[in-house]
Amino acid sequence: MYALQQAIRAVRTNWVASVATITTMTLSLTILAGFSLISLNLNQVLRDLQSELEVSAFLAPGADSSGLMADVRDWSEVQSARFVGRDQALAQLVSDLPSLEQASTLVDNPLPDTITLRLFDPAQTVEVRDRLLARPGVADVEDGSDAVATFLALNDALRVAGSILIVVLLGSSLFAIVNSIRAAIQSRAKEIEVMRLVGATHRFIRAPFLIEGFLLGLLSAVATLALVVPGYQYIIARLGPELPFVPFVRDPALLAQVSVLLTALALLVGLVGSAIAVSQHLREEV
């Protein structure tokens, strides 16, 4: 209780440094939380894109569609295969784009017969595409591997940028904590010296400052969550109806996990920063 009371008193006494530290940490944690949520949503889009990825083989005129269908259905990579005739494809296109209905009656159907495959593992898309192109009667193959590759590259770039940002922001937060604890130590320098003279242990001297760092981290985490959680919910509530095709992350368990990790990170930074400041002071006094 003594250590807790001293920590609360230090936060109140050095309120300028405390507010500056909490503001710095809150800003850093908010940016980190934003990057984490963007990464989660990008991963969700990527998973959905991969799960819906299909390989379409366009057949040449006169191709043996029945034989090719029977062949590809036996491939171990293929989860399902569907044949779409050229007339069916044109009817679907006109249904999707009614403005083409009149034009479709004036020209011959330019669409080819198509075999659409869905794979068990999207990573095998390139291998299946090459096998299809080697089959007689297959004029061309289209797949979404380019889109997946683009998302993967974007995700990798975001991960690298996020890692660099984490180091920079956590470094600034750690620096703010160390300076705040140093200010508290300087304000209690005479009291600490008296405690040392009467035989107080290093653990007893450290305890109030470690708790102070813990409290600063906790307050920063609370302020960050108070900004991030309602802000994220507001953003997806506004963007959801406008972008119905984007699978925004709404899982409460996943968002709770992000909140817990963010809080743990803030507490860890607070404890480590205070431990560094106190250790430096005690070494200087030796």
**Domain containing 94 — which CATH number?**
3.30.70.3040
- Chosen domain end from 82, 109, 143: 143
pLDDT tens for each residue of the chain, 286 residues long: 666 777 677 667 777 777 888 888 888 888 888 888 888 887 787 777 766 678 888 888 888 888 888 888 888 888 888 888 777 766 776 676 666 666 556 566 667 888 888 888 777 778 888 888 888 888 888 877 676 677 667 777 877 877 787 788 778 777 877 777 777 777 666 766 776 776 666 677 777 778 888 888 889 899 999 999 899 888 888 887 877 777 788 888 888 888 898 899 888 888 888 888 777 766 655 4
Distance (Å, whole) CA 260 – CA 116:
44
Domain count, the chain: 2
Question: Do 233 and 182 share a domain, yes or no?
Answer: yes
Question: Do 101 and 201 share a domain, yes or no?
Answer: no
- Chosen domain end from 93, 127, 143: 143
Question: Do 44 and 160 share a domain, yes or no?
Answer: yes
pTM of the model: 0.67
Domain that residue 119 falls in: 54-143
DSSP 130-185: HHHHTSTTEEEEEESHHHHHHHHHHHHHHHHHHHHHHHHHHHHHHHHHHHHHHHHH
Contact between residue 225 and residue 259 where contact means Cβ atoms under 8 Å apart = yes
Question: Do 36 and 175 share a domain, yes or no?
Answer: yes
Question: Do 160 and 271 share a domain, yes or no?
Answer: yes
Question: Do 72 and 106 share a domain, yes or no?
Answer: yes
Distances, alpha carbon 117 to alpha carbons 205, 255, 274, in Å: 69, 35, 59
Question: Do 131 and 273 share a domain, yes or no?
Answer: no
Question: Do 204 and 138 share a domain, yes or no?
Answer: no
Question: Do 101 and 226 share a domain, yes or no?
Answer: no
Question: Do 179 and 272 share a domain, yes or no?
Answer: yes
- Chosen domain end from 128, 143, 158: 143
